[in-house]
Structures are given as structure tokens and as C-alpha cells.
Structure 1
Amino acid sequence: MDTKYIRNFSIVAHIDHGKSTLADQLLLLSGAITQREFKEQILDDLDVEKERGITVKARAVTIHYTHEGEVYELNLIDTPGHVDFHYEVSRSLAACEGALLLIDAFQGVQAQSVANAYAAIEADLSIITVVNKIDLPVTRIEEVLEEVETIIGLPPDEALRVSAKQGIGIHDVFKAIIKHIPPPAGLADAPLRALVFDSKYDNYRGVITYIRVKEGTLHKGQTIKFMNDGSKSHVIEVGQFCPKMVSCDSLGPGQVGYIVSGVKTLGDIHVGDTVTLAENPAEKALPGYAKPQQMVFCGMYPIDATDFEKLRDELHKLSLNDASFTFAPESSDALGFGFRCGFLGMLHMEIIQQRLEQEQEIDLIQTAPNVTYELLLTNGQTQLIDNPENVPDAGQIQEFREPIAKTAFIVPGENIGTIMQLCADRRGIYKSTEYLGPLRAQIVYELPLGEIVYDMHDRLKSATRGYGTMDYEIIGFKESDLVKMDILVKGVKVDALATIVHRSEAERRGRSLVKRLKKEISKHQFEIALQAAIGARVIARETLSALRKNVTAKCYGGDITRKRKLWAKQKEGKKRMKQFGQVEIPQKAFLSVLDVAKED
């Protein structure tokens, strides 16, 4: 197809502003899906996306739309809105020439609206402002357009007004895309260069690679080369997403689609790689993507040790499909063999865990999450720590540094004082306040990432009755008075419960944690001492008194089946427990560190 009839665009917005609904409406009006499919949010096909009502993975789809007698090929990439998945947004924008900035007609410009709009501007994309949900009983359209001009700098007179749910103004969106978004550049007869922007694993066909062709033409049956490692493979199938996978003969400049090349090894495809032809290769690879930096880590261990290999295979597949997720094997005295997993944030972590437990039916024990710390040792070396258990003795540490995030809050004016107090309690450094209108303001703080990831989002929503939003970016590491706090159960350190805390919070956090553990750990037939310690100094202690329990004591004589039922019930209660020494520690106890942080 001639490139002048191709448009590549993305939809970016804050969470819940209607991206997926607008994408489905574009598909419906172009005839790509039926009315029944429209009601199912067809692009959000993961179980976790349907259950939570959010987009987790970016989706590519090709739409054919007729305008003034000409058929245009519109390649849409639907993107997530949550801050944890900002990396998915940046990858999608690299494959586009334009973006629809979607804004709720009542909520207006939110934190992720600003972050994603700036990402699109930095990527040099043509931006079309779309005000969605104009059918709501109460809207603030004029005020919202003023916010767009004030905060983002886009002209309000060119903004489109639509209702994705009711289908109002959708044809104007099609016309604006064709008019304002430039066609892709690239020559059909140049050496092939195609950007790998995503991939997924199919149990029957192997790795399916999502590509955006920048230059040249790719035909079915050709031999391609991945420029990252020089590996070659034969193209079995070429196709596009319409929205289901539909094979075609070739993909030309500007087109978005997929290739099936029989690659079976999970690590052979790299997001950001460049695909070229083996016979006539391109001289220079495309820029690709900056590597995402995981900042939240936790341990994941299978409850059943026989699931270890299955868990490793599924983590491999997830890391292939999600470049911002990493994992490495580790072992724990308390939990056995498992994996240390890295995430962009807490929601990202919850999604991965939910997909493993629901889609793959793997029962997991997950340790409390923690962020990455940087240590300057006395020998002059710098060390990154993502597991509290790896922190060396205090005598070897010259500086203990924690990650700092520049955090922007957009909140109602009446809640400014509450949010400033919330940030001050979490060791935040005030930077600026900017009023976006008579009713809303943007407050900027520098906060330790460890104080943000646990529950700052929940606290913000509670304090502002749901109207406040936040966005953050890591700006570096800063020295702080941090210590490693160990938890001892019956005199033995439980490595999976170790945590890093600020020294001023250590005693209070330690007391809260051992009290929580006392509730979570069931009584045994012997006394159990629960202690929190910094080095050799115990800072808090609780004692779990002894208990003797015989579940069959009430069964006097009679049928053995009654006793068997009681024993089976007792065994079921131990299912999500792990034996440590002589003390059984339940799964909930390993998340006590997180729960205590939320209570604080």
C-alpha cells in the first residue's frame, strides 16, 4: 500500500478516561468488529484486564476506513494508563507518527494525562486532543480545555468532543487522524528495517513477533536476520491484526503487523531489536528502546516444590512478553527455591502474581516487596541491593542511599494541606505548587520511592475522595539513615521477613511487625519468641504462648472416617504454610511487612 494512505497513531490518557472504549468504537464504525464484540472491550483480552477493568498490555490493530473515496489503513496501538505501565506507552509511541490525547470531560487533565502527553511531545508526534464522555450529566468541557492549554500547551480550539460510549463524534476523529497525522516515511525498495515493539508466546507456533516496518518490504517465505545478535530465521507467516490475526503476503513501509518465524527459544526475540533481510541486510539498526529500570522487587516461591520448573517456564514467557519484568533464581532458608522478580511498581507486581495464580494455576508464596538501594562501601565500591538479605554488615557501609522520585500530585484545592502533611510524614521535600484553575492545583514533591510504592496511591485517593492523581519518575539516589531490620522467630533469623527501614522509624515499625506476626502465626505446642533486631540489638519482642491441640480428642471410639475427616481438615489448613525449623509460618506472615507499612 502507498504510504500516503497509511496513518500510525496511539491513544494515550490517564487511567479510566476511555481509551479502550474509544478504540473499540473506532473498530465498530470501520466494520472491523460487531456490536456484540464492542460490548466486550475486545482489545483487553487478558483475564486480569477484564477482571480489573484496566489495560495492562498495549494492543496493535489495523483499521481500514474509507474517506472521500480513498481507503486508508489506520494502525492503532491502544496503551495502558497506569503509571506502572508507562514503559508500555513509550514503546508504543516509538512505532507511531501521531497520538490521540484523551481527556475526561469531567475529571479533566490528570497526572498521567500530563506524563503521557509530554512523552508524545518528546517523541515528536502530532497530537490531537479529544475530550471524551461529553454525554455525562455533569461536564466541565470549557474548563478542561483551559487546563489542556495551561498545563500541556495544546490549542483548545482544535480539540474534538466525543462520547466513545454513545458513538458521538467518532467520524470526526477519523477525519482528524487522516488530516493531522502525517503519513509514515520510508522507501519500499530500501533495505528492510522493522522495529520489534512487542512479542508473545504461542504454544503451537512459537514466538509471534510484533513489528512496525520503517523501510523496505517484508514478504512471506524470506529469510530474516535479527540485528541484535545476528540470528536468522525463515518467515512462515506475515500478517496484521484486524483485530484478530489475518495473514497477508507482505508488509511495506509504515505498516504494522506480525511475523511467525518458527522461533521457539524464548530469549531469542528482544523488544527494540531491528529485523532486516539476510540477503540484503541494512547497514544500521534502528535506535530501539531505553532499557526499563525495575525499582520494586519481591521473592516468588512455589508452595509445592514440584512447581519450580513450571514457574520458571511461565516467568520466561512473561518476561518475553513484558520487557519491563525481570527474574533471577534465589533460595531462602525459610521458603526453599524460588525467584527474585523485578517490577516497575506495585500494580505491576500484583498483575504478574495474579496472572501466574489464575492463568497458570501456580500457588505462590510472595515475600514483602522492597525497592532498590545503592550502597557505597568502605572499600570505595558501589553496590545495588534489591534484597534486604544481601545488605552487608554496618561496618562495611559508608553510605546507604535510597531512590528518590519526583512526584507530581494533581488534587482539589481543598485537599492541598492534607497532601502536604501526608508527604511531610513520609520525609518528602517540597518543590512547588501550581494552580491549574480555581478548584485544582499541582503539587510537586521529592519523595523516597520506598514511601511511595506501598500505599501512597491508596492514601491519596482516600484523602481526596478519589479526585487526586499522581505521577512519579525516578531522579536518582540520595544518602539516608537507613538500617536493615531482621526478624527472628524462636531465635532464628527469617531471611524472607528482613526489611530496610529508616532508623527513626525502626522501633515503631519493629513493634508493629512483631505484633502483626503474633496474630498471623498460629499457636504451637511450645512457646515462640518473635523479635525484631538491628544487628545484635533487639528492638521489639512478642511471645506466642504454647498450645496443645489434639483435633481427634473428642472422637471417642466410633468410625475411623470421622477422625480422617478431622485430620484432612487440619492438613488443608497447612496448605499455604512453609515449615521453618519447628515453627509453621503462614503465607500472610510474609506480607506482614507490607501490611505494617500500610498501617503506618
Structure 2
Amino acid sequence: MSTYPVESIRNFSIIAHVDHGKSTLADRLLEITGTIAKTDHNKQVLDKLQVERERGITVKAQSASLFYSHEGANYLLNLIDTPGHVDFSYEVSRSLSACQGVLLVVDANQGIQAQTVANFYLAFEAQLAIIPVINKIDLKNADPERVEKQIEKLFDIPVDECVRISAKQGTNVEKVLQKVIEKIPPPQCNTADPLKALVFDSTFDHYRGVIANIALFGGEIQKGHKVVSAHTKKRYEVHEVGILTPNEQPTHKLYAGQVGYLIAGMKEVTEAQIGDTLFLYKQPVEPLPGFKSAKPMVFAGMYPVDQTEYNNLKSALERLTLNDSSVTVHRDSSLALGAGWRLGFLGLLHMEVFNQRLEQEYNMSVIVTAPTVPYKAVLSSAKLIKKDNCSPIGMLDYKKYLKALAQEVKT
């Protein structure tokens, strides 16, 4: 891969409500730039997980590097396709940290919906350039004029900045790439600065260890460099760096402004912290801010079907939570089910998908208890008591429940 100056790099995410066409647009962008061959089989290419294919939704943010020529200039475009469901909004917030702009996709038939607004404000608060893209203009009931007025009214973005497309048919998709180059600024960094790399995602490979997705905010990195983790203070030697096209493609170096992956002999999942900053040995830098911790909303117990599988399940949970860092894990035990864990999820769909991935990717059969939410009760004495592990209660049982909690506190 030839060297691209920072001025020729654009990092952007695709954000939208569920089923507004993010992954289909990503397919067309990959095709137009020649990243993948143009065939009828290109359907949600960046949705790599089996659970994503089966459910038809994006669960994991996936990145890809595109090479594009416009008006005689060559550009490197780093695209991140993100989930649309609210249960996976943590994936969106982490992805935006590696970008300078977003494509806000809105369905020309459905218009602006809940996650459209939520994702807009995530991008707005991060001070990213926002390009509104009105998709599915080929549908019979499409009303792009109405959607443009919604966007102008709610987001204060002028109508003439909206791009009308049909991602399925490829109509006007080329204009989206041109808008990315015009509207999204290049990264504000320099290869002459000390190395500063943000770990914004990671996966675990049985043979190569942790594969960290990184965004470079300064300097450059190549095989043989010795890097240090700002979080663990451990030192590693870089074995491989590269870009995602969307499959891993090793390169000689990664430069400031680029998004890629790094393999540095991290064998334990605890060594790769999402939000960590990597820098060169003996060239310390101020760590990047990282990410706010996700706040779990739904809790459930998880236990191995057979207690002899406890250690295998523990290893599988560690590796899967590396890939999905929004899940919280605490050790727990049950008189009936034995030793296990109490897991916190962002929602019920998040819990279902996590359990399905555990079975499909790690061949683990588990017992999952009924999901619950934490309860708080204020007694007449003004004492606050919290209960995390209790069955849902109806309004008719509410007074009985408070009395039971009060009695529990007394004893």
C-alpha cells in the first residue's frame, strides 16, 4: 500500500436507525471503490457474524479501508459500519472516536426515528461533520421531500446538504463518496509526532492472540516496534500491522490518521483494554480520553450446564467480553445451579445475541436465568436499600415487597 498523506485520509462512520440501509450502503461503497467484486452475492458484506446473518441486523461495528480517486487525487477512506439497535449503541459511540465525520442514513419512507435522533446527538456531541443521506428513494411510498424537512427542522441541517440515494440500486451512491471528501475534514495529526494509538475494538484469535483495532492519532507503527500499553504498562513487540479491506491485509506501516489492526503478542484478554492508548517504548505520551463505561440495564445469571465446564465457560466469557466490552461480568453462585456469573446487558436483544454468540462461536451450552432489573426502595426511615437479584414484581405486590425488603434489612 502506497503512503497516503494525512490530507488525503477521511475517517467516517455510517449511523442510522435499524433497517434504514446502513449495511447495504456500505456494500455499494465497497463495490464502487473496487474493494470487493461487484456480484449479486454482496449482501451485508461487513456483517460477518453468524448471528448477524441469521437475524438480519448489525451487531458489531466493522471497519474497512477504501481507496478512491476523485478529480485526479487519490484518497484513503476508512469506513466503519455500525449497529442501529439501541442495545448496541455502545458500539456506535466507540466507533465515532476513530472518525472525523458520519453519514446519517434516513429511510425515505420511515423518516427520522428514535435511533436516528440518538445517533445524531452522539455525533453532534463528538463535534463530527454530519452528512445526511436519504436512502430507499426507489420505494413506492418514498417521500424524500418530507424527510428533508424533518432533518432541517430537527437537526438544523439545510435541505441542500442532503443526498438522495437508493443503496440497493446504487443510485447516486457515488455522490456520497464525493460528499465525504468535500465535507469531512482529514484527521488533525502528524506522522512526525510520537506514536499515539487508540484501541477502539479488539477480537481474540486462538493462534495469534489479541487482534486490536487501532486509530493512529500521531506517529507511525510497523513490525518490530516495541509498544507500551498506557493502561497495563506492559511492553510488547509488534508482530503485524495492517488495514481491513474488509479482510485483514498486512502492510509495512500504519501512519497517523489511519485506522487498522495490530497484533503484538497479547495472549491474555485482560491485556487488551478498549479505550487503551499505545505508545512507543521510552516515548511516553498523554493517554487519550478513552470511553465512558456502558451502563447495563438488564441482568441475568449464567451458569454452565455441567460444572466441569466452568473453566471453559470462564475462558469463553473473557474472550467474548473482549469483543463486546459493554457486558459486565461478576462472579455469582446458586444453591441449585452452582458456581456461575451475573452478567449485565444493555437490553434484552443484547442478552439474546450474546448468548447466541457464546453458543455459535465457542460451542458453549449455558443456563441463563430470567432477566431482571435492579430495584431501589426508600424506607420510611429514609434509608435507601438496593436489590439487584430479585424477581420482577407487579404493582399489587409492591407493598408486600417493600415490607419484605425492610424485614431483610432488620435481620
Length-normalised TM-score, structure 2: 0.93
> How many equivalent residue pairs?
402
Q: Tell me the CA shift for residue 130 of structure 1.
A: 0.4
Contact 1:298 1:342 in 2 (8 A): yes
Contact 2:24 2:43 in 1 (8 A): no
C-alpha spacing 1:208/1:375, structure 2 compared with 1 (3 Å): farther
Q: d(CA) in 2 for partners of 1:204 and 1:377?
A: 55
Q: Does 1:354 align with 2:246?
A: no
Contact 1:325 1:343 in 2 (8 A): yes
Equivalent residue for 1:302?
A: 304
Q: Does 1:216 align with 2:219?
A: yes
Contact 2:215 2:259 in 1 (8 A): yes
Contact 1:224 1:234 in 2 (8 A): yes
The amino acid of 2:363's aligned partner reads E
Equivalent residue for 1:487?
A: none
Q: Tell me the CA shift for residue 357 of structure 1.
A: 2.3
The correspondence for 2:197, drawn from 188, 194, 201, is 194
Q: d(CA) in 2 for partners of 1:8 and 1:53?
A: 26
Equivalent residue for 2:50?
A: 47
Deviation per residue, 1:37-60 (Å, 9 max, x gap): 852321001000000000001011
Q: Tell me the CA shift for residue 3 of structure 1.
A: 0.5
The correspondence for 1:276, drawn from 260, 274, 279, is 279
Larger Rg computed on CA atoms:
1
Secondary structure in 2 matching 1:215: coil
| 1:509-524 equivalences in 2 (<5 Å) | none
The amino acid of 2:184's aligned partner reads I
Equivalent residue for 1:285?
A: 287
Q: Tell me the CA shift for residue 305 of structure 1.
A: 2.3
The amino acid of 1:101's aligned partner reads L
Equivalent residue for 1:333?
A: 335
The amino acid of 1:55's aligned partner reads T
C-alpha spacing 1:222/1:155, structure 2 compared with 1 (3 Å): same
C-alpha spacing 1:377/1:186, structure 2 compared with 1 (3 Å): farther
The amino acid of 2:187's aligned partner reads P
Q: d(CA) in 2 for partners of 1:378 and 1:264?
A: 53
Choose between structure 1 and 2: higher strand proportion: 1
Secondary structure in 2 matching 1:41: coil
Equivalent residue for 1:324?
A: 326
The amino acid of 1:40's aligned partner reads K
| 1:55-204 equivalences in 2 (<5 Å) | 55-204=58-207
Equivalent residue for 1:367?
A: 369
Secondary structure in 2 matching 1:501: coil
Q: Tell me the CA shift for residue 304 of structure 1.
A: 2.2
Equivalent residue for 1:343?
A: 345
Q: Tell me the CA shift for residue 500 of structure 1.
A: 4.1
C-alpha spacing 1:68/1:383, structure 2 compared with 1 (3 Å): farther
Secondary structure in 2 matching 1:35: coil
The correspondence for 1:312, drawn from 288, 311, 314, is 314
| 1:216-255 equivalences in 2 (<5 Å) | 216-255=219-258
Equivalent residue for 2:409?
A: none
Q: Tell me the CA shift for residue 77 of structure 1.
A: 0.6
Q: Does 1:501 align with 2:393?
A: yes
Contact 2:66 2:77 in 1 (8 A): yes
Over aligned residues, Cα RMSD in angstroms? 2.1
Contact 1:200 1:321 in 2 (8 A): yes
Contact 1:206 1:264 in 2 (8 A): yes
Q: d(CA) in 2 for partners of 1:32 and 1:163?
A: 20
Length-normalised TM-score, structure 1: 0.64
Query: What percentage of aligned pairs have identical amino acids?
Result: 48
Contact 1:318 1:325 in 2 (8 A): no
The amino acid of 1:180's aligned partner reads K
Q: d(CA) in 1 for partners of 2:155 and 2:386?
A: 36
Q: d(CA) in 1 for partners of 2:145 and 2:261?
A: 42
Q: d(CA) in 1 for partners of 2:402 and 2:373?
A: 21
Q: Tell me the CA shift for residue 534 of structure 1.
A: 7.5
Q: Tell me the CA shift for residue 179 of structure 1.
A: 0.4
C-alpha spacing 1:374/1:192, structure 2 compared with 1 (3 Å): farther
Equivalent residue for 1:528?
A: none
Q: d(CA) in 2 for partners of 1:186 and 1:332?
A: 52
Secondary structure in 1 matching 2:217: strand
Equivalent residue for 2:408?
A: none
Q: d(CA) in 1 for partners of 2:205 and 2:379?
A: 46
Secondary structure in 2 matching 1:164: coil
Secondary structure in 2 matching 1:371: coil
More displaced stretch, 148-157 vs 268-277: 148-157
Q: Does 1:32 align with 2:35?
A: yes
Secondary structure in 2 matching 1:289: coil
Contact 2:18 2:85 in 1 (8 A): yes
Q: d(CA) in 2 for partners of 1:143 and 1:347?
A: 31
The amino acid of 2:23's aligned partner reads S
Secondary structure in 2 matching 1:124: coil
Contact 2:100 2:186 in 1 (8 A): yes
Q: Does 1:264 align with 2:267?
A: yes
Secondary structure in 1 matching 2:312: helix
Contact 1:103 1:113 in 2 (8 A): yes
C-alpha spacing 1:103/1:347, structure 2 compared with 1 (3 Å): same
C-alpha spacing 1:76/1:38, structure 2 compared with 1 (3 Å): farther
Contact 1:118 1:152 in 2 (8 A): no
Q: d(CA) in 2 for partners of 1:250 and 1:84?
A: 36
Deviation per residue, 1:41-94 (Å, 9 max, x gap): 210010000000000010111000011111100000110000011111111111
Q: d(CA) in 2 for partners of 1:368 and 1:8?
A: 41
Secondary structure in 2 matching 1:177: helix
Contact 1:223 1:279 in 2 (8 A): no
Secondary structure in 1 matching 2:54: helix
Q: Tell me the CA shift for residue 382 of structure 1.
A: 6.0
Secondary structure in 1 matching 2:362: coil
The amino acid of 2:368's aligned partner reads Q
Q: d(CA) in 2 for partners of 1:133 and 1:360?
A: 37
Q: d(CA) in 2 for partners of 1:224 and 1:82?
A: 36
Q: Tell me the CA shift for residue 221 of structure 1.
A: 0.8
Q: d(CA) in 1 for partners of 2:40 and 2:92?
A: 25
C-alpha spacing 1:40/1:140, structure 2 compared with 1 (3 Å): closer
Q: Tell me the CA shift for residue 329 of structure 1.
A: 2.0
Deviation per residue, 1:381-416 (Å, 9 max, x gap): 86654212xxxxxxxxxxxxxxxxxxxxxxxxxxxx
Deviation per residue, 1:95-124 (Å, 9 max, x gap): 100000000010000010011011111110
The amino acid of 1:58's aligned partner reads A
Asked which structure has the greater RCO (Cα within 8 Å, sep 6+), the reply is 2
Q: d(CA) in 1 for partners of 2:260 and 2:212?
A: 9
